[in-house]
Structure 1
Amino acid sequence: MGVSLAGAPLEAISHSSIDFTVDLCWRMNEPGNLFFSPLSIQVILALVYFGAKGDTAKELERGLHLPSDKQLTDNGINALMHRLNESQNVLLDIANKIYLRTGSEVKKEFRQTADRFLAGVQQLNFAESEQSTKTINDWIESKTHGKIKDMIMKGTLDASTLMVLVNAIYFKDEWLKVFYEEETKPTPFHLPSGATEDIDMMYVEDRLLYADVTELNSQALMLPYKDWRLNMMILLPKEMNGLQDLERNIDKFDPLHILKGMTKSKVFVYLPRFKMEYSKSLKDTLITLGMESMFNPAKANFSGAVDGDYVVSQVLHKAFIEVNDRGTEAAAATVLIAPGSSAPQLPPPTPVTFKADHPFMFFIVDDITRTILFAGRLVKPSV
């Protein structure tokens, strides 16, 4: 995250992305593993924001932490999408799509915004529920390289559906320094219940960016991927059962601030191999974040997008991640359905041990745009 940003729009979106990520981490507080793409969710809702008017627009602006200047948001997300899609040495695919009921027309300004969000528009006859569901699911599966399947369940779409907005994101890269495969061995992992479970624990030692984050009572480590622009930031509570306290104080989480306090240190890293798939309807979460009127037929106002009244019925999110000795593969998709109604390089004197043998939080961050692509919590490596 040491590269300067090209102008205020991208910087504004970067800050809103971090704030929105913290909000989601705070609200998505059910027990167990958690993995989602705040970027995927924010981008598709930001596109909806540009079709909203009145209180619906104000709620989305506040809930997504967007700048009050709409042009700044438009320019920022346009720059973000282009920057992320420029990735040369990493497999990072981001795509947006609007599926519109046959016979409806997107307003010109909204279509221009969709173009700037790199979002294609395709008309579908939602009355043909099975075929339209297959069309959208096939597109999501293709964009996430087969990792996100059957996103929309049978019977979700029908003749009353006006619009479906989809964002899909896929990431795959190797670690800059791969873990020593021969060193991976069964190691006890401490579960929240107090029990332990033997899991495959990977090991590597390297000079890495590291910080002791006293305000979160945690260790922070940056594990770079091969192309350097993407990193996994891991927040490991110092206490075996410290995840709850960490999440309670997540509003103090600022990756840019943590990065400034990091130094290059020799670190002995122990990290579990893990794989998880996570899916969630975000409607209740978004309502608790103040984005209520877009779901309410009496209040929703999307007159900037299409003619006629409509509300959002649900926002669906599904994500997948696999972390192993060589690297990380991750994918996520967000579907919104609307029915027609740089750091100093001073090493510390002694090496650091970073042993992730108990629950922790992790984030995949982009150095160029300073955005969080994925966020997660590992409570139980094998599920």
Structure 2
Amino acid sequence: MTDNANMEFSRRLALFSNNVYEKLSAQNPGQNIVFSPFAIQTCAAMVRMGAEGETATQLDQGLGLASSDAEKIADSFRKVLAGYKDSKVLRIANKIFVMKGYPLRRQFVQLQTKQFLSTAKSVNFARSDKAAATINKWVEKRTKHLIKDLVPATALNANSRLVLVNAIHFKGTWQYQFSIYKTWPDTFHLDGDHSVRVPMMVLNEWFRYADLPSLDASALELPYKDSDHSMLIVLPNSKTGLSSLEEKLRATTLSLITKKLQKTEVLVKLPKFKAEFQVELTDVFQQLGMSKMFTDQADFGKILKNQDPLKVSAIIHKAFIEVNEKGTKAAAVTDLLMIPLSLTIYPPELKRFTVDHPFKFYIINKDSTVLFAGSIQKF
């Protein structure tokens, strides 16, 4: 993929990420949120390959795809997925589970296999316990046991026809690791009135950093070793400024933030944190204009040979992230169902980046492609 194509793919994914986060944040006020916009978009794009008419149009627009041509859409995802095929830090896997006795159309299978690097497996959804166990075992294996029990047996039945699963697992080691001997309990302000004690990591190093007066915030990029990936943290200047920051970020692309980052000596204080988040995305998709896919009028005529009507019954997304002194573990799966500081003295001129109140984070690559995103508001 050319640099321009990479940038356009990343820009559109960032917009989709903002749209999804806005809905998730409204549905889960005050909660930690972690999700993979890339996993969600990829999974939905897989089923888009079998859509026609208004169903396809709504998916193209709601997902923010660059084209309405299925072949071009598939090719754009193939180029991104292929770039991670031999990655040491990121593993991406896609899988189609189809009801036994319902053969898929050859063209749909070819698109999934060649472009989305996916394969199909026949299962009997009527035996819901066994079918759920099969899907969950595959997910757990692909996410290195970080995501378990994704699909409940109650979500499957004899009327289920198709389940598309996208699994993404990230494990990055910091380029500059925090010393466990400098991690001490410190205060994290939950809001203007409440606070908790958390294990706070400390590191003095040269990082890409930016003051962002237009956002009333600052940003820091923590790079991962042997990778072009990094964690971008956007921290509001005010301890109660997350909501205001989120509002401003809706009209700000990530690339505008990353372009302002400059190598700066920074004293970083960052809490160790772990978060897990699961959500059923039907409401989010409907709010983003993708509603027909859930109705009896859904048009997925390019999927099954026998032309049986199909509709999406649920989109289950589960994500996990853990940040510590060594680095980051993260995993996500989207399942689309058819039916004190040490005594060290630091120079006063040092920039200080103290993450002691709610913040936003992203795991991105050099093109600002958003693999994971979210916010930490509570411990």
Interval of TM-score (by shorter of Structure 1 and Structure 2)? over 0.9
Separation (CA, whole Å) in 2 of partners of 1:379 and 1:54 = 41
Q: For residue 84 of structure 1, what is the aligned residue in structure 2?
A: 84
Q: Secondary structure at the match of 1:249?
A: helix
Separation (CA, whole Å) in 2 of partners of 1:7 and 1:234 = 24
Letter in 2 for 1:378: I
Q: Residues 105 and 9 from structure 1, CA distance in 2 versus in 1: closer, same or farther, beyond 3 angstroms?
A: farther
Residue 72 of structure 1: how far off its partner (Å):
3.0
Correspondence 1:1-383 to 2 at 5 A: 6=2, 9-29=5-25, 30-31=28-29, 32-70=31-69, 71-87=71-87, 90-115=88-113, 116-192=115-191, 194-297=193-296, 299-306=297-304, 307-339=307-339, 350-367=349-366, 370-380=368-378, 382=379
Separation (CA, whole Å) in 1 of partners of 2:57 and 2:68 = 12
Letter in 2 for 1:109: Q
User: What do residues 353-377 of structure 1 show as CA deviations (whole Å, max 9, x unaligned)?
Assistant: 000000000000022x541110010
Question: Does structure 2 conserve the Cα–Cα contact (< 8 Å) formed by 1:126 and 1:132?
Answer: yes
User: What do residues 246-284 of structure 1 show as CA deviations (whole Å, max 9, x unaligned)?
Assistant: 112221231211111111000110000001111000110
Q: Secondary structure at the match of 1:188?
A: strand
Question: Does structure 2 conserve the Cα–Cα contact (< 8 Å) formed by 1:47 and 1:114?
Answer: yes
Number of residues of Structure 1 aligned to a counterpart in Structure 2: 364
Letter in 2 for 1:351: L
Q: Residues 158 and 22 from structure 1, CA distance in 2 versus in 1: closer, same or farther, beyond 3 angstroms?
A: same
* Off by >6 Å, runs of 4+ in structure 1: none
Q: Secondary structure at the match of 1:133?
A: helix
Q: Secondary structure at the match of 1:253?
A: coil
Residue 100 of structure 1: how far off its partner (Å):
0.5
Structure 2 spans left out of the alignment, 5+ residues: 340-347
Structure 1 spans left out of the alignment, 5+ residues: 340-348
Q: CA RMSD in A?
A: 1.4
Residue 69 of structure 1: how far off its partner (Å):
4.4
Q: Which range is displaced more, 190-199 or 138-147?
A: 190-199
Letter in 1 for 2:359: F
Q: Residues 12 and 105 from structure 1, CA distance in 2 versus in 1: closer, same or farther, beyond 3 angstroms?
A: farther
Separation (CA, whole Å) in 2 of partners of 1:350 and 1:20 = 39
Q: Residues 7 and 186 from structure 1, CA distance in 2 versus in 1: closer, same or farther, beyond 3 angstroms?
A: closer
Letter in 1 for 2:316: L
Question: Does structure 1 conserve the Cα–Cα contact (< 8 Å) formed by 2:192 and 2:240?
Answer: no
Residue 176 of structure 1: how far off its partner (Å):
0.3
Q: TM-score, normalised by structure 2?
A: 0.93
Q: For residue 345 of structure 2, what is the aligned residue in structure 1?
A: none
Residue 7 of structure 1: how far off its partner (Å):
5.3
Question: Does structure 2 conserve the Cα–Cα contact (< 8 Å) formed by 1:25 and 1:247?
Answer: no
Question: Does structure 1 conserve the Cα–Cα contact (< 8 Å) formed by 2:60 and 2:68?
Answer: no
Separation (CA, whole Å) in 2 of partners of 1:350 and 1:188 = 23
Letter in 1 for 2:181: E
Q: For residue 342 of structure 1, what is the aligned residue in structure 2?
A: none
Q: TM-score, normalised by structure 1?
A: 0.92
Residue 154 of structure 1: how far off its partner (Å):
2.4
